[in-house]
Amino acid sequence: MIKGFLSSLGEFAKLIIIVFFYTNSQAQTLPSLHGNHYKKESISQTNYALNFDGSNDHLVTNGGTISTSWSFEVWYKKASNQSAMNLTNNATSNNNGTWGLRLGQWNGIYKVGITKYGVKDYYINDSKANLDIGKWEHVAWTYKNNLVTVYINGESLGTTFSRGPLANGAILYWNIIGKSVRSINGELDEVRIWNDKRTSSEIKSNMFKELSGNENGLVAYYKMTDGSGTTVTDNSSNSNSATMVNMDNSDWISSNAPLGNLLNSYETDVEGFWEHTGTSDSEASDGLSMSVGSSLAEANFVVFGNNNDDTGTTSSSLSGISLRSKREWNFDEKGTVTADVKIDISEATGHNGSISAASNYKLLFKTCEFCTFSEVETGDSASGDIITFSSVAIQDGIYSIASADSNL
């Protein structure tokens, strides 16, 4: 009996060991709680964009027209200034009387606009509408009630065009993407077509992240994840795949469009910090912004948002720390980013009293939503309600601000 018991015990032990090693191996493949990089299902996966040569490259879709209200979004990296860079059309020629979106207008104007072929070219008379060469920028057009609004990097440039009101509405033709007389010259990623007018907040809150594909109003969604072949998959539920014309495998290239993957509970006021930001402060996510002394390289960027907790502070068990903000910020970094992190505590916590010396404030960090915070940086300077933490080596994870006293 004892011998049989020992034998059974040995088999049980083997089973425990097998389960342990299997579970551990599976854990290595599970995504971390703080989120994976955009489109990266594994470390080796590449993010793709399509490169258009400025001559005859284009996509043919099985799409048609949208007339009552519509929106079109894209991340675009311009390769050169070129007149009449046509993004959407109904055909590659003989399209008089139809409408097209342009990433650069005719006659050396180069500004983002919209054209009724054979009638008028319209463009936004703003310097931001002339996109930077060699840098990723987000461009969106929305239309309803005879008004087209242009957004560059989430900022509305208004509805006032160079040549007056639009003639007889503006129909979105998207049978062709990337060409009319000539193709666009640059790289495209994350093309989104909608049959409704997206609001400013919808554009801003979604431009730095990929979609699920089943959003209301989404007609076509080209994430550019194929990476090879001449078919571009429609990642919406509508099967509007596109065919590449005059293009081949060499036109699939690595993309550094600044998109990230944040935890669902940290998708409030999502912002990006990337090459285009330059040496200016990034847009702030409810009190937190970043800056660098020299522009980031294209492959280095951060997408960040917060947990929308504006209820102030909570006590902290960390040594030497009294309070920390209930507001937390989730960062998704690509490449290597070292930046000054600036937190306006009046926005972050609602604090409206005096502030302490900068050294009383600490930047806290944790690697996942349910992990424990630890102190990573001490405040270097204070100006008004803004505490600056200098030269922070940004990490994927979650940040908070804390204070050694009650001035938070």
Is beta strand 397-403 parallel, antiparallel or unpaired with respect to 329-334? antiparallel
Is 50 exceeded by the pLDDT of residue 64? yes
Alpha-carbon gap, residue 230 to 236, rounded angstroms: 18
Identify the domain boundary among 204, 235, 254.
254
The amino acid present at 332, given as its one-letter code, is: D
- Name which of 124, 118, 80, 132 is nearest 102 in CA terms: 124
Within-domain flag for 239: yes
Its domain, for residue 249, covers 48-254
Q: Residue 3's pLDDT is what?
A: 45
> What's the mean pLDDT in 273-292?
97
Distance CA 86, CA 29 (A): 43
CATH of the domain at 356: 2.60.220
User: Where does 151-196 have alpha helices with state H?
Assistant: none
Phi-psi region of 84 (alpha: psi -120 to 50; beta: other; left: phi over 0): left
| Average pLDDT, integer, range 146-159 | 91
- How many other CB atoms are found less than 10 A from the CB of residue 338? 14
Average pLDDT value for residue range 226-238? 97
Whether the predicted pLDDT of 39 surpasses 60: no
408 part of a folded domain: no
Q: Specify which of 12-21, 87-96, 279-288 reaches the highest per-range mean pLDDT.
A: 279-288
Residues 287, 242 within the same domain? no
Does residue 40 have a pLDDT over 60? no
Average pLDDT over residues 237-253: 96
| Average pLDDT value for residue range 20-37 | 39
- Report the percentage of the chain scoring pLDDT > 90: 70
Same domain, 153 and 217: yes
Average pLDDT, the chain: 87
Q: pLDDT higher for 391 or 117?
A: 391
**What domain count does the chain have?**
2
**How much is the pLDDT for 94?**
58
- Would you say residue 29 has pLDDT above 60? no
Q: What is the mean pLDDT of residues 357-374?
A: 97
In a domain, 31, yes or no: no
Tell me the whole-structure pTM to 2 decimals: 0.88
The string of pLDDT tens digits covering residues 97-151 is 788 898 988 777 888 988 888 788 888 888 999 999 999 999 999 999 888 999 9
| Same domain membership, residue 313 and residue 227 | no
Higher pLDDT, 37 or 324: 324
Residue 249 sits in the same domain as residue 334: no
Q: How confident is the model at residue 32 (pLDDT cuts 50, 70, 90)?
A: very low
- 181 within domain boundaries: yes
Amino acid at 198: R
Alpha carbons within 13 angstroms on the beta-carbon side of residue 183 total 23
Summarize the confidence of residues 386-396 as an average pLDDT: 98
Q: How many CB atoms lie within 10 A of CB 225?
A: 17
Rounded Cα distance between 396 and 408, Å, is 25
Would you say the C-alpha torsion 355, 357, 360, 362 has a positive or negative sign?
Answer: positive
pLDDT tens profile 254-266: 999 999 999 999 9
Query: Which pLDDT value is given to residue 373?
Result: 97
- Is the model's pLDDT at 79 over the cut of 90? yes
In a domain, 362, yes or no: yes
Q: Which of 38, 72, 26, 30 is nearest to 218 (CA)?
A: 72
> 213 and 289 share a domain?
no
Same domain, 285 and 223: no
Tell whether 87 and 69 lie within a shared domain: yes
Tell me, yes or no, whether 281 lies in a domain. Answer: yes
